[in-house]
Amino acid sequence: MSEPEGGRVVEFSIGGMTCAACSARLEKVLNRQPGMQANVNLAAERARIRLAGTADEAAVVAAVAKAGFSAAVVDGQTRAREKAEKQRVYRREIRQFQIAVALSLPLVGQMFFMFGEHGQHNELPRWLQFLLATPVQFWIGWRFYAGAFKALRGGGANMDVLVALGTSMAWGFSAVVTLFALDQHVYFEGGAAVITLVLLGKLLEARAKAHTSEAIEALIRLQPKTARVERDGQWIEMPVDALMPGDIFMVRPGESVPVDGEVVDGDSSVNESMLTGESMPVGKSTGDRVFAATANGQGALRCRATGVGEQTLLAGIIRLVGEAQGSKAPVQRLADRISAIFVPVVCAIALGTFAGWWWYSADFATALVNAVAVLVIACPCALGLATPTAIMVGTGQGARAGVLVRNAEALERAERITVLALDKTGTLTLGEPQVVDLQVMQGSAAEVLRLAAALEQGSEHPLARAILARGSTVDLPQCVDFKAHAGFGVSGSVDGLALRLGAPAWFGIDGDARVQSLQQSGKTVVVLFGGDQLLAIFAIADALRPTSPAAVRRLRERGIRVVMLTGDNIVTAAAIAAEAGIAEFRAGILPGEKAAALAELKAGGALVAMVGDGINDAPALAAADVSFAIGAGSDAAIEAADLTLIRSDLNGVADAISLSAATLGKIRQNLFFAFIYNVAGIPLAAMGFLNPVVAGAAMAMSSVSVVSNSLLLKRWRPGK
């Protein structure tokens, strides 16, 4: 579903859905309401709805109730409430299933003694069969009648309609035969066994589906419930929810960090693998950032809270994973379209089967049994679970590996990437440029560094930070008339001297031998002019990430064309590209030109992805078919990206593509099994090769097999 601009998105938990037809019908009902656009997820039992105009939460709840389901706004306590309610319902259904088994076993067991010469005499008395089957049909099986009534009242049909109709036909025929003592076989065992097997399938399915959301549950469990907070010089234990930004908290050795913060005092190493997937601990000292739920090592850390509640990185990850698991992949649209018409078509086939067999065999009982088998075998549950269960497991595995997926559509497209455009600074490189060479033409080194640092103190560019780090003093002079010239440099006045600092090409000296010599060694060159005089040449180097060459090699082995985009001159760009193993690059590209470069790369139908980390990458990320933001990058870049790599490592892109391929593979397998199951099962039932009991068992196991196949994604590991 494409969401329009405007409005607000609200997530609801949905109760009462039993199959794909339910979710498809509810989504259709909600999308017909004014001011609502909905995406309903059967596996997650969630609906994400964009509300606009006068539409509000109460209108959603009313519309859902009218369609035969229940809805509640998801809040911070919803997951805990749902978990408790599901456990309660699960225990109740276990008891009902045990009763159903106890009542159905004698009915099914008699079938093994009915073969042979005296089989008819081994049959249980029909009045006893009636007494055993009736509670199963109308007490244990009442859920199917209730679900069918709600579905039909809402103008649709679902799995409950098929089960209720099929088993009622078998029970009703058998009851008439028993009541009037007719000379016909009875099928009480068929209806009772089908209901029992469907319940078994539902229990197994519920148990398997619970495992698909383990990733979010594991993340939620990571954050400690209390923190040691400084109050009036005393350390007190208080709930994490009570912390405010600016509070000072203590993390002792072996404890988990309660909220996001900045180290004020102390030295330690912190295990951030639960957020980044990186197993090596990260050293932390004064000024370093720490994140909620990460595990402190051997030293104590005194920290200042910077992000609490929903503002922590962990909360953001949980929110993104939840949104991705509730989103719908385009590949699911075919299944949705089929599910919407599936039940009416199956009912028509069952009616045709009944009429055809009655005409062919002149045997009402045979016609009835075959029609019931068609109704029972045709449950569309597997079809509805095929995509969302794989998406839930896949996005959860991605979160464990430090790959956050914004939506299922992005995850699906990632597998088809043919061209990957890379920003250089902060993506291929560490993003921490340093001044490695300084050639002074006028004055002293200390003086030109003082002037350059004063000029750059108003800039956020990585090169500016390098100069500030090298040349900052206790008291920098004030810069007036500061102006940034995109793609060229900056200008301003310091101590009455007009200064310009930027790329050699801005001043027309890019052909200077000194400049070219530095560029050929892979260094970025900026020059400082005072008036018309060249004051100094700065050589700045940003080291390549140690993992970048291996990551580029992984991407190229997948057949992906890797292109580097950089504002650097062609000589420096060529040196960096060669070091990273990249054969193709675009140099001298201004920030505003990156989106145009992507449009050029898209020519010919290529699916183009972009990796970036800075504010100036946001337009290009938005223009890409699939976009990746390095986790250490700017909020603007992360907001514009489809996937966020928490660990600042290009290997995360290769991992995301690998995860996409694995997830889409499971979706295709699930859809294939679901389609083949129905394509093969319905004709077999219609031709009389399946009795209702076998059909019920096969139908129950089809849903379980699809969910179990999705759970195999848990074997996926980064680096593959």
Residues 6+ apart with CB under 8 A from 111: 189
Element (H, E) at 629: strand 626-630
Encoding tokens for residue 475? 């008291």
Torsional class of 125: left (φ above 0), alpha (ψ -120 to 50), beta (otherwise): beta
Burial 463-476 (b: 16+ CB within 10 A, else e): bbbbbbebbeeeeb
649 assigned to active site? no
Residue 459 is classified by DSSP as: -
Under DSSP, is residue 402 helix (H, G, I), strand (E, B) or coil? Answer: coil
Give the DSSP per-residue string, 414-466.
Answer: HTT--EEEEEIIIIIB-S--EEEEEEESSS-HHHHHHHHHHHHTT---HHHHH
Are 299 and 268 a contacting pair, CB within 8 Å? yes
Encoding tokens for residue 158? 């679902």
The length of the chain, given as a count of residues: 720
Determine phi and psi for 89, rounding to 5 degrees. Answer: -65, -40
Under DSSP, is residue 359 helix (H, G, I), strand (E, B) or coil? Answer: helix
Neighbours of 207 (CB within 10 A): 12
Encoding tokens for residue 194? 């089908």
Encoding tokens for residue 650? 């290009």
Distances (CA, A) of 337 to 340, 343, 389: 5, 12, 18
CA distance 84 to 82: 5
Residues 6+ apart with CB under 8 A from 233: none
Nearest 10 degrees: CA dihedral of 567, 571, 573, 574?
Answer: 150
Encoding tokens for residue 491? 């200008």
In 432-517, DSSP assigns E strands to 434-440, 479-485, 489-494, 497-502
Are 691 and 190 a contacting pair, CB within 8 Å? yes
CA distance 44 to 714: 17
Are 582 and 563 a contacting pair, CB within 8 Å? yes
Identify the active-site residue in 423, 542, 568, 625.
423
Radius of gyration (C-alpha) of the chain in whole angstroms: 33
Q: Are strands 497-502 and 260-265 parallel, antiparallel or unpaired?
A: unpaired
| Largest pairwise CA distance in the chain | 117
Three-state SS annotation for 537-582: EEEEECCECCCHHHHHHHHHHCCCEEEEECCCCHHHHHHHHHHHCC
CA distance 709 to 394: 12
* Residues labelled as active-site residues: 423
